[in-house]
């Protein structure tokens, strides 16, 4: 009996040891593959910029009454120039993006500055290499006193016959937020050209074509009278008006003229405008914008699925290279998130009375094209053209650079 127990114990210990070794080997193999496929050649970075902010070339001044005098005494001259604190940008991230042969690293170190470190890998349908590429970047920025945050999260896997990508991007300066995910089949044609086709999911926040205040202020009753006179928005925000009459002498005719109008006060009783026109052309503009922003914020985010096709042509020699690429999102969009009344398909269906009852969903085209070309003409002269154009909904992004270089030898 004792021998049997000892034998069973030895078998159990041996099995446990083998299992642990096998598990460890699998874990080590997984970590090794993860490092080789995902982390190798990636870069973790943290960097920032500091610079002086914009300052006008000429200062601006105004005057105020001297504390020891009256309005007719020599006034105090005050510097009214707007001075902003220094500009800065601080960012952190990790990146692994392959460069095409014609691209050069912009500096000795990566900083995350998108203006200086633009890469085609983030735009072109296909990559310079197969496998994983990614960019996970967050930054905080201040410019002319305004502070915002930006981020870009990008992950793509490119194979010989497929492309899979997810992306999220926020640009605080432009109030731009965008998320997407796509899967495509890829067809290489020779070594330089490829086609791709698949489906894309995208989001947008803006309710295009929808102007809440215009609809609100144009509401009418059965007799054609306005339900919401424009000035009632002032009442709703704590402003009050008071009718007054004044008499003054016309400087041209010398006759006395009677003027009737309304002056406006804020909720603290401070007079903010001497007439309806002054109130409407001044403070009322901010009230309109606040009203619209509140209504837009209640709508929420939209999400849609669309078919997408793309192409990529790449030829590189040390003396001449050309890289042309494009993406076309076909006009067969289907919304899966958001209030259907406010999606982009109804952008032209909104009128002063609201959404037209006979409105129909209108499809549209979105696309992106890019070109990078360089030609070294002999030993001294070089010509280059670089550019990209993107159209998404009502938003356009584009840049271009072109020129020539001549080197004396």
Q: What is the pLDDT of residues 270-294, one digit of tens each?
A: 999 999 999 999 999 999 999 999 9
Please answer whether residues 184 and 198 qualify as being in contact, where contact means their C-beta atoms are separated by less than 8 angstroms.
yes
Number of domains into which the chain is organized? 3
Question: Position of tokens 């005057």?
Answer: 63
Q: What is the mean pLDDT of residues 56-66?
A: 87
Residue ending a domain, choose from 250, 278, 297: 297
Cβ atoms within 10 Å, residue 45: 14
Torsion of CA 55, 59, 63, 66, to 10 degrees: 80
pLDDT category at 6 given cuts 50, 70, 90 is low
* pLDDT beyond 90 at 394: no
* Phi, psi dihedrals of residue 331, rounded to the nearest 5°: -80, 60
Residue 78 in domain? no
Q: What is the mean pLDDT of the chain?
A: 87
Do 311 and 363 belong together in one domain? yes
pLDDT of residue 18: 57
Please answer whether residues 262 and 243 qualify as being in contact, where contact means their C-beta atoms are separated by less than 8 angstroms.
yes
Residue 122 in domain? yes
Do 400 and 350 belong together in one domain? yes
How many angstroms separate the Cα of 273 from the Cα of each of 6, 106, 280?
99, 54, 9
More confident residue, 207 or 67: 207
Do 195 and 339 belong together in one domain? yes
pLDDT category at 9 given cuts 50, 70, 90 is very low
Do 251 and 189 belong together in one domain? no
Do 326 and 267 belong together in one domain? no
E-strand stretches of 17-130: 43-51, 61-64, 76-79, 87-96
Question: Position of tokens 């922003």?
Answer: 293
Beta bridge partners of 322: 315, 373
Cβ atoms within 10 Å, residue 207: 23
Q: What is the mean pLDDT of residues 66-76?
A: 83
Separation of alpha carbons 268 and 249, rounded Å:
32
Separation of alpha carbons 334 and 332, rounded Å:
7
Residue 84 in domain? no
Cβ atoms within 10 Å, residue 93: 21
Domain that holds residue 316: 89-210+299-406
Query: Residues 314-335: pLDDT tens digits?
Result: 999 989 999 999 999 999 999 9
Tokens representing 388 are: 């990209």
Residue 141: name the closest of 92, 97, 188, 99 by CA: 92
Q: What is the mean pLDDT of residues 176-186?
A: 91
Do 20 and 95 belong together in one domain? no
pLDDT category at 369 given cuts 50, 70, 90 is very high
Beta bridge partners of 381: 377, 406
Do 181 and 317 belong together in one domain? yes
For the ranges 3-7, 121-125, 287-291, which has the lowest average pLDDT? Answer: 3-7
* pLDDT beyond 90 at 25: no
Q: What is the mean pLDDT of residues 190-206?
A: 94
pLDDT of residue 32: 78
The torsion region of residue 403 among left (phi > 0), alpha (psi -120 to 50) and beta comes to left
Write b or e for each residue in 15-39: b if 16 or more Cβ atoms lie within 10 A of its Cβ, otherwise e.
eeeeeeeeeeeeeeeeeeeeeeebe
Question: Rounded to a whole number, what is the distance in angstroms from the first to the last CA of the chain?
Answer: 95
Do 226 and 350 belong together in one domain? no
pLDDT of residue 8: 47
Separation of alpha carbons 125 and 196, rounded Å:
8
Residue 130 in domain? yes
Cβ atoms within 10 Å, residue 394: 12
Give the per-residue SS3 of 340-379: HHHCHHHCCCEECCEECCCCCCCCCCEEEEEEEEEEEECC
- Cβ-in-10-Å burial (0-12, 13-18, 19+) of 92 comes to middle
Q: What is the mean pLDDT of residues 105-117?
A: 79
Residue 75 in domain? no
Separation of alpha carbons 351 and 361, rounded Å:
15
Separation of alpha carbons 296 and 171, rounded Å:
19
More confident residue, 74 or 197: 197
Residue 80 in domain? no
247 contacts: CB under 8 Å, gap ≥ 6: 256, 257, 258, 259
- Classify 117 as helix, strand or coil: coil
For the ranges 35-44, 232-241, 297-306, which has the lowest average pLDDT? Answer: 35-44
pLDDT of residue 140: 93
Residue 105 in domain? yes
Do 332 and 394 belong together in one domain? yes
Do 218 and 175 belong together in one domain? no
Residue ending a domain, choose from 247, 267, 297: 297
Query: Residues 250-272: pLDDT tens digits?
Result: 778 888 888 889 999 999 999 99
* Phi, psi dihedrals of residue 62, rounded to the nearest 5°: -145, 170
Tokens representing 235 are: 């009442």
**Percentage of residues of the chain with pLDDT beyond 90:** 52
Residue 14 in domain? yes
Do 311 and 170 belong together in one domain? yes
Question: How far does CA 170 lie from the centroid of its chain?
Answer: 5
Query: Residues 336-361: pLDDT tens digits?
Result: 999 999 999 998 888 777 888 888 99
Q: What is the mean pLDDT of residues 109-126?
A: 82
Do 154 and 286 belong together in one domain? no
């Amino acid at each position: 009996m004792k021998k049997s127990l000892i034998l069973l114990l030895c078998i159990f210990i041996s099995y446990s040891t083998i299992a642990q070794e096998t598990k460890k080997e699998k874990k080590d193999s997984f970590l090794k593959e993860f490092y080789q496929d995902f982390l190798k050649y990636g870069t973790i970075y943290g960097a920032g910029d500091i610079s002086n902010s914009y300052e006008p070339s000429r200062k601006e001044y105004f005057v105020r009454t001297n504390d020891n005098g009256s309005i007719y005494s020599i006034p105090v001259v005050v510097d009214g120039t707007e001075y902003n604190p220094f500009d800065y940008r601080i960012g952190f991230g990790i990146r692994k993006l392959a460069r095409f042969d014609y691209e050069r690293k912009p500096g000795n170190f990566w900083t995350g500055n998108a203006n200086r470190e633009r890469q085609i890998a983030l735009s072109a349908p296909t990559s310079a290499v197969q496998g994983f590429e990614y960019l996970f970047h967050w930054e905080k920025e201040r410019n002319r006193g305004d502070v915002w945050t930006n981020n870009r999260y990008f992950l793509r896997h490119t194979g010989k016959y497929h492309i899979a990508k997810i992306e999220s991007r926020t640009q605080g300066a432009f109030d731009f937020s965008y998320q997407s995910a796509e899967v495509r089949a890829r067809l290489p044609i020779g070594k330089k050209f490829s086609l791709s086709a698949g489906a894309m999911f995208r989001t947008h926040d803006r309710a295009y074509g929808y102007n809440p205040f215009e609809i609100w202020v144009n509401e009418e009753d059965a007799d054609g009278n306005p339900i919401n006179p424009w000035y009632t928005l002032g009442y709703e925000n704590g402003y009050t008006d008071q009718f007054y009459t004044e008499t003054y002498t016309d400087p041209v005719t010398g006759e006395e003229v009677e003027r009737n109008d309304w002056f406006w006060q804020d909720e603290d009783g401070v007079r903010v405008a001497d007439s309806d026109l002054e109130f409407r052309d001044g403070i009322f503009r901010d009230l309109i914008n606040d009203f619209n922003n509140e209504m837009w914020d209640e709508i929420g985010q939209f999400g849609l699925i669309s078919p997408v096709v793309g192409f990529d042509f790449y030829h590189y020699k040390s003396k001449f290279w050309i890289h042309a690429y494009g993406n076309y999102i076909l006009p067969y969009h289907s919304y899966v998130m958001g209030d259907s009344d406010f999606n982009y398909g109804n952008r032209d269906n909104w009128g002063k009375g609201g959404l037209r009852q006979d409105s129909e969903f209108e499809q549209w085209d979105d696309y992106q094209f890019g070109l990078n070309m360089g030609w070294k003409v002999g030993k001294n002269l070089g010509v280059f053209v670089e550019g990209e154009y993107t159209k998404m909904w009502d938003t356009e992004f584009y840049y271009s650079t072109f020129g020539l270089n001549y080197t004396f030898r």
